[in-house]
Amino acid sequence: MRRWWAGVDWSWGQQDFVILDDEGKLVTHLRVEESGDGVEQILNALRALNPTSHRFTRRQVPIAIEDGGRLLVAELQRRRQPVIVIPPAVTARHRGRHAAAVSKSDRGDAALLADIIRQNPGRRSFLPETSDQAAAIAVLARTQASSAEAARTIMLRLRSHLGLYFPAAIEAWSGMQHSLRRPEARAVLTLAPTPRHAAALSKRKLHDTLAAAGRTRLLDQEAARLRDLFAAERLRQRPETEQAMGERTRLHLAELATACQHAEELTELTDQRFSAHPHYRIYRSFPACGPLIAARLFAEIGDDLQRFPSGRSLRAYAGTAPITWSSGSSHCVVHRKVCNRALKTVIHQWAFGALTRSPGCRALYDDRRRRGDGYAAALRHVGNRLLSGLHHCVRTDQPYREQVMFPTGGRAR
């Protein structure tokens, strides 16, 4: 039975669509717009490949593209047309295989994408059939992560700037959770952006500012600590320079307040949306899997149960499963670098938090450390075990149970 393979090279305005046959010969080339008419042209071209066979359907022809987030892809998926996303790095590695002189064109790239899946049938996965609800949660969770990272970046710029003229402000909240992102830190610095202003603050004023920022515990002690810290003799910039640097601090604080507000709003909205999904109770049943960790895990894994047929495939996708390099007498096992980086990061945070909330995770971590693993390697083993348990629980629709997950108390079997 004849087979065909298609590729789309996306660009602003016009998209090149190419169909190849089994031998890699060009069958069809179209230039279409990213619109309803363009999608119809693509689907009609696929239907016309074998009009005489009642066993042939357009869904037997996969379409390769580099960017899976385009409107064109969304519409093709809505029409249930199989789409395969090829990373640009893979396309670049294949570009020089057919000719000594490497060239680039939109039509050539579309043909190259189709040829990649033609030469590697079964080695490339179709886009998962994620539900609309899961896709919306993924957008919110990723946007929240971007907002939190933006707030952290602004905080680092603020910290670097304060180090030039106001080191006491850095010391005041050093070692505390969120550091300068804390509401009380932002409130005090907004009130006193320079050492001169901070030294003039009374204990009462600091007490009221901390209370207005939401602090409820040890207000008198904290106000006294800040007053003594700001009043201590330190090196200072010249008065006008210090004042100008204070104005720049106000700008950083305004940016930081906006980024923190966006991150907090998105956190609430993401948890609200995710709590309505059937998988929410399963994710939240795991130790240290709070609203943010759960949403970020779900954003990268999705709710298509056929996407990862085994826990091993999920671990490989997350980069927590090791990879073996073997040649001749040499043999080594290393961690994966090609993976979903966002998922790998959140699993690291999840595993770290689980050490204090799950006796089994702690026992497994300690056992790996005794056997010679470093901190990161032992934590990857914990993440592997949690990820395997999550995969099993989602597929069987049951919550986490510590005694089932760690029947031997976390010791390796």
CATH number at residue 68: 3.30.420.40
Q: How confident is the model at residue 1 (pLDDT cuts 50, 70, 90)?
A: low
Classify residue 410: in a domain, yes or no.
no
Helices (H), 173-310: 183-191, 195-199, 203-212, 219-231, 239-274, 280-284, 291-301
Cα(284)–Cα(197) distance, rounded to whole angstroms? Answer: 46
Please compute the mean of the pLDDT values over residues 118-134 and round it to a whole number: 84
Torsion on CA atoms 377, 381, 386, 390, rounded to nearest 10:
100
Q: What is the pTM of this model?
A: 0.86
Clarify whether residues 41 and 58 are in a common domain: yes
pLDDT for res 101: 59
Q: How confident is the model at residue 44 (pLDDT cuts 50, 70, 90)?
A: very high
Clarify whether residues 244 and 145 are in a common domain: yes
- The helix (H) or strand (E) run that includes residue 388 is helix 375-396
Mind listing the pLDDT tens digit for each residue in 88-104?
888 888 877 766 656 67
Please compute the mean of the pLDDT values over residues 221-236 and round it to a whole number: 94
pLDDT for res 98: 62
Cα(273)–Cα(280) distance, rounded to whole angstroms? Answer: 10
Phi (first) and psi of residue 235, to 5 degrees? -65, 145
pLDDT for res 413: 45
Cα(115)–Cα(209) distance, rounded to whole angstroms? Answer: 65
pLDDT for res 241: 96
Residue 347 clears pLDDT 70, i.e. is over it = yes
Clarify whether residues 297 and 377 are in a common domain: yes
Residue 334 clears pLDDT 80, i.e. is over it = no
Please compute the mean of the pLDDT values over residues 182-207 and round it to a whole number: 96
Clarify whether residues 401 and 287 are in a common domain: yes
Cα(71)–Cα(36) distance, rounded to whole angstroms? Answer: 10
What share of the chain has pLDDT > 90, as a percent? 76
Among candidate residues 4, 34, 127, 42, the one with its CA nearest the CA of residue 77 = 127
Q: How confident is the model at residue 162 (pLDDT cuts 50, 70, 90)?
A: very high
Please compute the mean of the pLDDT values over residues 178-204 and round it to a whole number: 95
The per-residue b/e assignment along 37-50, b for 16 or more CB within 10 angstroms, e otherwise, is ebbebbeebbeebb
In the chain, how long is the greatest CA-to-CA distance?
90
pLDDT for res 285: 96
**What tokens appear for 24 in the block?**
């890699």
Mind listing the pLDDT tens digit for each residue in 267-311?
999 999 999 999 999 999 999 999 999 999 999 999 999 999 999
What is the domain count for the chain?
Answer: 3
Clarify whether residues 322 and 248 are in a common domain: no
Neighbours of 377 (CB within 10 A): 14
Clarify whether residues 251 and 285 are in a common domain: no
